[in-house]
């Protein structure tokens, strides 16, 4: 494509309202333009990259046995009423009436539509499993759209839905989808993790988010340095880190700790590491008192606590409650001599502690040389704390580190959440009516584009991975007014096209500086510059990623490009 004919409006200035790199760069490099808050147009270069991502998604989904289809954006409200989401989805669901005053939703997601199609068409276990996907524009009226394409109100998503007779069939498809997603994001050149996520109110155990590791991520994830373990920080299990101490238990002793109340103050006052102090917190779990013990250098993970207690709700007890159940105020709470009505639940690290410190349930006093069993009871031992950086990975391989993540994909075992209320049933081998089991699998296609841009840029502009670059080569006639340079450029343009490269050719009557600045901004991986040595048949090849610059005789250009492409691939 000749750049003189390309619609590619680049900007020199950083747009004022673009708050993250990807947004700034995609605007500056002329890939996108905003039409309204959270609503964007993809200009020709943006559309080309989008197309490449879509093709990767399509290839991997097809390979995984998913079948492409296309559902409408306009969805009858009736379906959303059947699933109950017409009422529960809130203002994110855009709604409208047609000319006959019928209510419609604008597709934010398609569980209802696909379930209605499948329940009408599939009646027998023989037709299951089915895995169907579409790549389509979605609408969600975000309260605060931001970060450009990362959180928009109209965006492109790949959404897939699977239908099964048996749980094992869903489990199998779920793993296939996870593999397909890994293939997709790998091909997009992203540093990502499949992160175990909280299933929230929907329930169901298996639920992974595909997270691109990124400074600007809105979620905190814990992952292993040496394996593919990754989990949302709330979900990361803790592997018991240490074996029991060889120290001999001493006699318990009450000491006056003055005003020292926090772990920090106590650690300083007693000259003891936080890891030797028992942090005792009184919770109310569905109204019942529970004394929770974790090591002083750890934090209670209330999601874990809630799960192990099978409680609807857990919350820290008030000062009043502490006085009521333990006869003391928070700051001096401890597990020694606690009445039987208060359940004591300890993190798995607690039984291993020897001669540790804890509150004496008496203001201003703590015990030292406290030992479980000898000095206090534990009713239940569990993994109760948040993972911390430096922990061993729960799968035993490597060390836990933290990172922020941008969610680009999500796989979810829906179970019967939609098929049950919408009555999607089939006849099993025995002719018995059964409710289908479902999975759903989403990829933010336009968000993936932004995530790639976010992770691949420098101060000069974008740096596209080969598989997603809008062009293979950026050919630049350095001085188009120079006949020698222009003629060699034209010749090379034809030659490169014939060799199968998708070539952007800067044939504009612009200064070299303008051309180079634009080229850096656009970020095509390899640049060929036809400049002053055109007469000698020499051009320059520049690698966008590392700035490497090669002088190449025209006769060797094909070979050099081939080699450099192999390096980048």
Residues in contact with a copy of itself by CB under 8 A are 5-7, 9, 33, 35-36, 39-44, 46-48, 50-51, 65, 67-76, 91-92, 94-96, 98-99, 102, 104, 106, 113, 116-117, 120-122, 130, 132, 134, 137, 139, 141, 143, 153-154
The stretches of 258-414 forming alpha helices (DSSP H) are 263-270, 302-309, 319-326
Q: Which helix H or strand E contains 387, and what residues bound it?
A: none
Q: Which of 151, 212, 191 is nearest to 405 (CA)?
A: 212
Q: Which is nearer to a copy of itself, 87 or 243 (CB)?
A: 87
Q: Which is nearer to a copy of itself, 148 or 289 (CB)?
A: 148
Smallest gap from residue 207 Cβ to a copy of itself (A)? 25
Q: Which is nearer to a copy of itself, 5 or 487 (CB)?
A: 5
Q: Which is nearer to a copy of itself, 117 or 342 (CB)?
A: 117
Are 137 and 87 in contact by the 8 Å Cβ rule? The answer is: no
Q: Which is nearer to a copy of itself, 142 or 171 (CB)?
A: 142
SS3 annotation, 286-299: CCEEEEEEEECCCC
Smallest gap from residue 537 Cβ to a copy of itself (A)? 31
Smallest gap from residue 76 Cβ to a copy of itself (A)? 5
Ramachandran bin of 412, using left for φ above 0, alpha for ψ from -120 to 50, beta for the remaining angles: beta
Smallest gap from residue 96 Cβ to a copy of itself (A)? 4
Q: Which is nearer to a copy of itself, 41 or 241 (CB)?
A: 41
Smallest gap from residue 71 Cβ to a copy of itself (A)? 5
Q: Which is nearer to a copy of itself, 154 or 234 (CB)?
A: 154
- The whole-angstrom separation of Cα 170 and Cα 176 is 10
Per DSSP, 559 falls in state H
CA-derived radius of gyration, the chain: 30
Smallest gap from residue 438 Cβ to a copy of itself (A)? 14
Smallest gap from residue 477 Cβ to a copy of itself (A)? 16
Smallest gap from residue 139 Cβ to a copy of itself (A)? 7
- The whole-angstrom separation of Cα 375 and Cα 360 is 11
- The whole-angstrom separation of Cα 182 and Cα 193 is 8
Q: Which of 56, 52, 75 is nearest to 64 (CA)?
A: 56
Are 382 and 303 in contact by the 8 Å Cβ rule? The answer is: no
Helix, strand or coil, per DSSP, at residue 464: coil
Q: Which helix H or strand E contains 109, and what residues bound it?
A: none
Q: Which helix H or strand E contains 185, and what residues bound it?
A: helix 167-187
Question: Which residue shows structure tokens 């199968």?
Answer: 500
Q: Which is nearer to a copy of itself, 70 or 569 (CB)?
A: 70
Smallest gap from residue 145 Cβ to a copy of itself (A)? 10
Query: Before 351, cis peptide (omega within 30)?
Result: no
SS3 annotation, 144-159: CCECHHHECCEEEEEE
Q: Which is nearer to a copy of itself, 97 or 258 (CB)?
A: 97
Residue 219's beta-bridge partner residues? 405
Q: Which is nearer to a copy of itself, 355 or 448 (CB)?
A: 448
Smallest gap from residue 99 Cβ to a copy of itself (A)? 4
Torsional sign, CA 109, 113, 119, 124: negative
- The whole-angstrom separation of Cα 83 and Cα 421 is 6
CB atoms within 10 A of CB 321: 17
């Amino acid at each position: 494509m000749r750049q003189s004919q390309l619609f590619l409006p680049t900007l020199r200035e950083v747009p004022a309202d673009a708050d993250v790199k990807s947004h700034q760069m995609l605007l500056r490099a002329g890939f996108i333009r905003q039409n309204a808050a959270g609503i964007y147009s993809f200009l020709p270069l943006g559309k080309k990259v989008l197309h490449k991502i879509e093709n990767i998604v399509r290839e991997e989904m097809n390979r995984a046995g998913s079948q492409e289809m296309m559902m409408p954006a306009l969805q009858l409200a009736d379906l959303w009423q059947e699933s109950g989401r017409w009422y529960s989805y809130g203002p994110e669901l855009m709604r409208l009436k047609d000319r006959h005053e019928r209510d419609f939703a604008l597709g934010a997601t398609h569980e209802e539509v696909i379930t209605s199609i499948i329940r009408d068409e599939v009646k027998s276990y023989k037709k299951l499993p089915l895995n169907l996907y579409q790549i389509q524009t979605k609408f969600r009226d975000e309260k605060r759209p931001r970060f450009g394409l990362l959180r928009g109100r109209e965006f492109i998503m790949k959404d897939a839905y699977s239908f099964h007779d048996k749980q094992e069939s869903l489990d199998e498809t779920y793993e296939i989808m996870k593999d397909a997603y890994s293939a997709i994001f790998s091909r997009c050149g992203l540093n990502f993790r499949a992160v175990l996520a909280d299933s929230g109110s929907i329930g169901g155990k298996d639920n992974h988010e595909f997270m691109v590791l990124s400074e600007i991520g809105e979620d905190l994830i814990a992952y292993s340095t040496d394996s593919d373990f990754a989990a949302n920080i709330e979900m990361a299990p803790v592997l018991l880190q240490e074996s029991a101490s060889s120290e001999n238990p001493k006699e318990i002793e009450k000491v006056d700790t003055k005003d020292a109340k926090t772990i920090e103050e106590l650690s300083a006052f007693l000259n003891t590491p936080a890891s030797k102090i028992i942090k005792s917190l009184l919770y109310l779990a569905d109204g019942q008192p529970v004394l929770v013990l974790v090591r002083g250098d750890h934090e209670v993970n209330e999601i874990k606590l809630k799960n192990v207690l099978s409680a609807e709700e857990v919350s820290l007890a008030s000062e009043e409650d502490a006085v009521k159940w333990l006869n003391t105020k928070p700051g001096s709470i401890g597990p020694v001599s606690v009445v039987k009505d208060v359940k004591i639940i300890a993190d798995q690290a607690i039984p291993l502690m020897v001669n540790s410190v804890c509150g004496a349930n008496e203001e201003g006093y703590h015990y030292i040389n406290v030992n479980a069993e000898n000095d206090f009871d534990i009713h239940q031992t569990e993994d109760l704390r948040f993972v911390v950086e430096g922990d061993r990975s729960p799968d035993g391989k490597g060390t836990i580190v933290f990172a922020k993540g941008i969610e680009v994909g999500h796989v979810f075992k829906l179970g019967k959440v939609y098929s049950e209320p919408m009555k999607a049933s089939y006849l099993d081998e025995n002719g018995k009516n059964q409710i289908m089991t479902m999975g759903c699998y989403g990829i933010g296609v336009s968000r993936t584009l932004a995530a790639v841009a976010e992770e691949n840029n420098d101060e000069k502009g974008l740096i596209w991975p080969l598989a997603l670059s809008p062009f293979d080569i950026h050919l630049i006639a350095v001085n188009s007014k120079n006949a020698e340079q222009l003629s060699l450029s034209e010749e090379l343009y034809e030659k490169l096209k014939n060799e199968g490269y998708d070539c952007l050719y800067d044939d504009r009557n612009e200064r070299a500086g303008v051309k180079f600045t634009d080229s850096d901004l656009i970020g095509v991986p390899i640049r060929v510059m036809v400049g002053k040595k055109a007469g000698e048949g020499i051009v320059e090849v520049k690698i966008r990623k590392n700035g490497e610059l090669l002088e190449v005789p025209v006769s060797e250009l094909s070979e050099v490009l081939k080699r450099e492409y192999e390096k980048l691939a």
